[in-house]
Structure 1
């Protein structure tokens, strides 16, 4: 039997699990099948790799040698696959773009704009709640570009290995049922919402911690946070079950009003990411420009955002740089960052 990569992965799984039973569960195999496979691997390598005991398995000297090589070989092969995929895409004759994104209107708007700007390009999409997952897909060559974001000035995921360019910086607003007691106000003090329950889409950045800290500064602890998909958040707000947190570009929705929070306690930075080895500079510049145009269009459709921008231009009292209103062209990077 010739040794294969899957055999090395099996050896690693057994060593990490510490027992054949647990390793079989991880690998999705029956324990007898895993035991038989291990015996074949050991015959191919010339000796026992593990000593069996009452409390599991431990590696022999030969097993330690094989594991040491495995820790080098498996990551090297994975990186080879990623590099080959990026090279093949960069040299491929058929133009295609694989876009990833988190929740929000920008992904659909970017696809729409690219259909006009690059009609010969085949565009596919992938959505994820996880910014880290999108970054990993960029590293692995499974995505060409990812629309993601960070709370405030938090660094984007895996920034040492990926390129991240800023699309725009938005305030975080609240959405209320149109019959809510505060719905007629132009902006809302966070403290006035101390007795509310909250709804928000999930994520794996620091936004939840930043929101809790903002509430603490306002003198209260949030009663409850429903983390769910956008449609469910909207429903919970419409029926008066919760107050929602949203980006300022959230589209107009029947039964809802979108309002700024006084003092702008939370900001969201929209980012476009890609792997530097996988994209031509011209392609990246085109996608970034279209992403900024897509954001400008979303911002222009929000009356509450227009009000907020007008107020900030006249009275930037919170120490943040004044924000220029979205125009038909691109939105300059760095706007609104304190």
Structure 2
């Protein structure tokens, strides 16, 4: 049997998932078919490529050698196919988008906008708390686009990933309080007024914790306990009065919870769109960015307080594309 590209994809899927069963699911194949294919590959290469037990599949020394070559060959072949398609003028319309996103206000509206353009267009989503994980998947061409949030001027993932990043919008960070809280109806709140509070926020990577601590220090105090928890639990501890929540200004309203701006807007959260410049998706990046920015503004419009408050803080909101950017937009 001659080794083919499809065989290398099977080996990489087993190594990436750590399981033949999970690899089969990832590849859309039956588990017995993947097992049989692995056995044929191992016979062709002269030895076992994985040690398999109840805990999963671990590459052998021979497996590591083959996988090292596969991780070079597979991206090279994909790049060759993409470059050849571009050179040949291949301009087919996409039928599917693979989009990864962290918690944020953009993905739902973006899906609706894409669906309105083409009934047959399929959008596959991959959620994560971790921007770096989504950046890694986009770099490996497992995602067409990723929508992530970062604190300050940081960029997700390693510089060598080669991804292109465009800012969709800059969100202000607000505080979440029970509607019965004495400060819940304020136009904005100085952080110093919450110096005795315990805090709750959603998990994620980046420097947000350090930036929050620095903002508190500028207001003359050190924050007490910071609870990292998922969205539902954060709402529960806020409603119970155990903690003050930190959220994006575009946070969707929840009964019993008030969101209030922090005076001066000391904390910001930048929503970024990322893609690989050599991917087929790259030629639609400007269109995707435009729809993502519109989805962000739709979410902001649900909070009239934020829209009014933003007039005094024009540094927040969607980025405005330049004239050059607009001339590059290609309809999907």
TM-score normalized by structure 2? 0.71
Q: Which residue of 2 aligns with 1:169?
A: 170
Give distance in 1, aligned partners of 2:191 and 2:180: 18
Taking a change above 3 Å as real, the CA distance of residues 119 and 195 of structure 1, as seen in their structure-2 partners, is same
Give the drift of 1:217: 2.1
Q: Is the 8 A contact 2:106 2:295 kept in 1?
A: yes
Give the drift of 1:262: 1.0
Alignment of 1:48-127 (within 5 A): 73-77=69-73, 79-80=75-76, 83=79, 95-127=95-127
Give the drift of 1:82: 5.7
Q: Is the 8 A contact 1:176 1:243 kept in 2?
A: yes
Q: Is the 8 A contact 2:200 2:229 kept in 1?
A: yes
Give the drift of 1:120: 3.1
Q: How many residue pairs end up in the alignment? A: 275
- Which range moves more in the overlay, 272-281 or 180-189? 272-281
Give the drift of 1:195: 1.0
Deviations 1:44-78 (A, max 9, x none): 69xxxxxxxxxxxxxxxxx9xx8997796254145
Q: Which residue of 2 aligns with 1:297?
A: 298
Give the drift of 1:307: 2.6
Give the drift of 1:251: 1.6
Give the drift of 1:242: 1.0
SS in 1 for 2:307: helix
Taking a change above 3 Å as real, the CA distance of residues 87 and 224 of structure 1, as seen in their structure-2 partners, is farther
Give distance in 1, aligned partners of 2:208 and 2:109: 24
Q: CA RMSD in A?
A: 3.6
Q: Which residue of 1 aligns with 2:142?
A: 142
Taking a change above 3 Å as real, the CA distance of residues 259 and 86 of structure 1, as seen in their structure-2 partners, is farther
Alignment of 1:1-338 (within 5 A): 73-77=69-73, 79-80=75-76, 83=79, 95-160=95-160, 161-312=162-313, 322-323=314-315, 331-332=319-320
TM-score normalized by structure 1? 0.70
Residue segments in structure 1 that go unaligned for 5+ positions in a row? 13-25, 29-39, 46-62, 313-321
Give distance in 2, aligned partners of 1:190 and 1:253: 22
Give the drift of 1:268: 0.8
SS in 1 for 2:170: strand
SS in 1 for 2:311: helix
Deviations 1:159-204 (A, max 9, x none): 5500111101111111111011211211111111111111111101
Give the drift of 1:304: 2.4
SS in 2 for 1:311: coil
Give the drift of 1:2: 11
Q: Is the 8 A contact 2:170 2:319 kept in 1?
A: no
SS in 1 for 2:180: coil
